[in-house]
Structure 1
Amino acid sequence: MAGATLDFWFEFASTYSYLSAMRIQDLARRCDVVVRWRPFLLGPIFAAQGWPTSPFNVYPAKGRYMWRDMDRLTKARDLPFTRPDPFPRNGLLAARIALAAGPQMPAFCRAVYTAQFGGGADIADPQVLQNCLAQADLSVTLLDAGQDPAIKTELRHQTDRAIALGLFGAPSFTVGEEVFWGDDRLEAALDWAAPD
């Protein structure tokens, strides 16, 4: 059933979430759809599959394809791209700060993705995240959110909700219980959500 709201489920370590984060707001605005940004953690989902790390590391051929695909897509979309080393980066603190950022979450998230995948920065580094907060015109006091028990609980609940929805990767988009997976499904998700 279509609605006017779409949930954007993303993980900061996810390459394809970077692509979606950089374009979702403009596309949604054109479709008259409200986007709710939903950071979550893929680690518990991967661990349940028996994967100690990203499937792009577990399956080398898949990883080689993904990096080449990212080269092509970022060039086509005029986005900066640097492969993070090591991959994946730890996005836990960034996800907690994003939750604490409230309505400014999209600006902060885009700054984090640009720092990581545009510049190769380590997004687990508080100084990197402080710079991202500054770029998003947010107070550096939000760094403290990483230790706030309420924010930690909220992120766990977000991840539990993602699992309950059957999400297995990022980015994912949901409209009610309808799930769309992957940056290449963003337009289909927005079409589903768009008001008649």
Structure 2
Amino acid sequence: MPNRPVLDFWYEFASPYSCLSALRIEKLAEEADVALRWRPFLLGPIFAAQGWNSSPFAIYPNKGRYMWRDTARRGRRLGIEMLKPENFPQNSLAAARLALAGREEGWTPAFSRAVFRAQFCEGRNIADEVVLGAALKQAGGEPGAAIPLSRSEEVKGRLRAEIEYARSIGIFGAPFFVTGDGEPFWGDDRLEEALGWARDGR
């Protein structure tokens, strides 16, 4: 459908709430007849501009404890067993570059879901090339080609541009959803509302 509404799905691989959205968004978007644009990016530079050197869930212990309890609770309702990896937040740079490298071949959504499951359902380290390679294979990508491509200046520049664009439109957290008419929605609990707005507008 040429006029099918589009929703931009901005996500950060180190974000547990992004994980919850990534593992359920495609079914909901299909039901709403909304096309998705998967937009991986990094929150680190955006947080740094606010004076934070880490995730607010790591900086503020009470907020972090609540987040893990909340994501576990939301996950159980969705049939997803969420767990806290040994290191949090994890370095998501390589994963984000790989996800961007897969856009043309179409395996970015499947790769992203596999990375999220590895980290927040299995407790794996997503900075580990072995973990990323396994996620690539699950998604139908070829690690021998995708990993070198993700290290290219072209893909590095693409990620920097995505981060700068996210900053320019006011994105400050993840997941973040932006409809075709520019309406912003922040948080996994706003996913359904974002899809409804994308489909029906104001």
Using structure 1 for the length normalisation, give the TM-score.
0.96
Give the aligned length.
Answer: 195
The C-alpha deviation readout for 1:117-153, integer Å capped at 9, x for no partner, is: 0101000000100000111111112111231100000
Which segment is superposed worse, 142-151 or 125-134? 142-151
1:186 aligns with 2:191: yes
1:153 aligns with 157
1:22 aligns with 23
Identical columns (%):
52
Unaligned runs of 5+ in 2: none
RMSD after superposition: 1.4
1:135 aligns with 2:112: no
2:129 aligns with 126
Tell me how far apart the structure 2 counterparts of residues 116 and 79 of structure 1 sit (CA, whole Å): 13
How far the C-alpha of 1:76 sits from its partner, in A, is 1.2
Q: Is the 8 A contact 2:6 2:37 kept in 1?
A: yes
How far the C-alpha of 1:72 sits from its partner, in A, is 0.7
Tell me how far apart the structure 2 counterparts of residues 80 and 155 of structure 1 sit (CA, whole Å): 30
Structure showing greater relative contact order (alpha-carbon pairs closer than 8 Å, 6 or more residues apart): 1
2:108 aligns with 105
How far the C-alpha of 1:195 sits from its partner, in A, is 5.0
Using structure 2 for the length normalisation, give the TM-score.
0.93
Tell me how far apart the structure 1 counterparts of residues 69 and 83 of structure 2 sit (CA, whole Å): 12
Letter of the structure 2 residue corresponding to residue 114 of structure 1: R
Unaligned runs of 5+ in 1: none
Which segment is superposed worse, 90-99 or 139-148? 139-148
User: Which residues of 2 match residues 155-174 of structure 1 at below 5 A?
Assistant: 155-174=159-178
Q: Is the 8 A contact 1:7 1:36 kept in 2?
A: yes
Q: Secondary structure at the match of 1:57?
A: helix
Q: Which runs of 4+ in 1 moved over 2 A?
A: none
